[in-house]
Structure 1
Amino acid sequence: MNKIGKVVAINISEKKGVIKKPIPEGEFKEDYGLVGDAHAGKWHRQVSLLGQESIDKMKALGIDGLCTGKFAENITTEGIILHELPIGTRLKIGDTVQEVTQIGKECHGGCEIRKQVGDCIMPREGIFTRVIKGGVVKTGDVIDVIEWK
């Protein structure tokens, strides 16, 4: 498995359950998440990540209009198969260090993404992290797997 990837996009929303909009860089606060994002807080799913590879799978099914943030992910990545990372793996993303806390999730009933897109890959291939060391993450930043569990 490739242990180095890159940040394709940083995405943010002020409300839960909606498509996120891209921003050029985000401030990630220790034990909180992306400042200004609805999912941030003192819990285990502070930051959500989804690979461009997963989005491309959905595009291959003929689903139009897919872009970064469409699946409500905070960080869209490329080059790392995220859902194969064990829980506890630490990632250096930009200035931050984040720890994988959960692989996938249960999709809630009123999911806007599922309504608009017809399916949601986030429950199967998205991952969640908590911020161990805060800092800035920018589009194009390197993602390095620094510790396997």
Structure 2
Amino acid sequence: MTIGPAHVVAVARDDAHRFTKPTRDSIRLIAGLGVEGDAHAGALVQHRSRQRTGATAPNLRQVHLIHAELLEELTGRGYDVAPGGLGENVTTRGIDLLGLPVGTRLRLGEEAVVELTGLRNPCTQINGYREGLMKQLVHRDASGEVVRLAGVMSIVVTGGVVRPGDPVDITLPAGAPHPLQAV
């Protein structure tokens, strides 16, 4: 296991379109597709709600990442949420995922590299998992702006195996940073 601020806590995948994903000992990322064996893997949109309106759009949601600190915060508020519980593929620790700009690359372990495409725009299925959880993950700030806390989405740039304990290295994009928007 890696000791340090930026590392993988858990990995998850599911071959069916279910809300939660079971954690695994490892997952394999495939460049341009996503997590091998996951229902959301593919070059084109795989999320059912998005297929109805844009089935030929590129899949910008190949790998879903959430920071473990969020899960702990939710548990502290009475919402018991374990890794994989919100459908994420990779749970990290020590990274402000939500504060990173579009185009940030994360090297997960020795080989795999994902590039952040945007914020997860969660759906109301979250309330079916834990009643009232949606309000904890999406709300408006004091200025009326929508705040999304349900993790980030990415595409796979370089494939490889990812395991709990793997280090995470961050490479920011060149140029002026652009904040993540919902994808």
Regarding TM over 0.5, the answer is: yes
Which of 103, 108, 126 is the equivalent residue of 1:88?
103
**Correspondent of 2:73 among 57, 76, 80:** 57
* Structure 2 match to 1:128: 153
**TM-score, scaled to structure 1:** 0.88
- Is the contact made by 2:101 and 2:172 (CA closer than 8 Å) also made in structure 1? no
Does the 8 Å CA contact 1:29/1:134 hold for their aligned counterparts?
A: yes
Measured after TM superposition, the shift of residue 22 of structure 1 is 0.5
Task: Name the counterpart of 1:77.
Answer: 92
Q: How many angstroms apart in 2 are the aligned matches of 1:80 and 1:148?
A: 16
**Whose Rg is larger?**
2
Kindly provide the CA deviation profile for residues 12-45 of structure 1, in whole angstroms up to 9, marking residues without a partner as x. Answer: 1122242100101111000001001111111111
Letter in 2 for 1:39: H
Do residues 47 (structure 1) and 54 (structure 2) align? no
2:179 aligned residue: none
> SS at 2:127's partner residue?
helix
Unaligned runs of 5+ in 1: none
What RMSD, in angstroms, separates the aligned Cα atoms of the two structures? 1.6
Partner of 1:104: 120
The alpha-carbon deviation at position 114 of structure 1 amounts to 2.1
Larger deviation, residues 10-19 vs 67-76? 10-19
> Which blocks of at least 5 consecutive residues in structure 2 are unaligned?
44-58, 139-147, 175-183
2:14 is aligned with what amino acid?
A: S
Distance in 2 between residues matched to 1:144 and 1:127, nearest whole Å: 16
Identify the structure with the greater strand proportion. Answer: 1
TM-score (norm 2): 0.72
Higher relative contact order (CA 8 A, sep 6+): 1
Measured in 2, the distance between the counterparts of 1:104 and 1:134 equals 22
How many aligned residue pairs are there? Answer: 142
Aligned-residue sequence identity (percent) comes to 32
Q: Is the 8 A contact 1:83 1:104 kept in 2?
A: no
Partner of 1:117: 130
The answer to whether the 8 A contact 2:11-2:89 is kept is yes
Residue equivalent to 2:143:
none
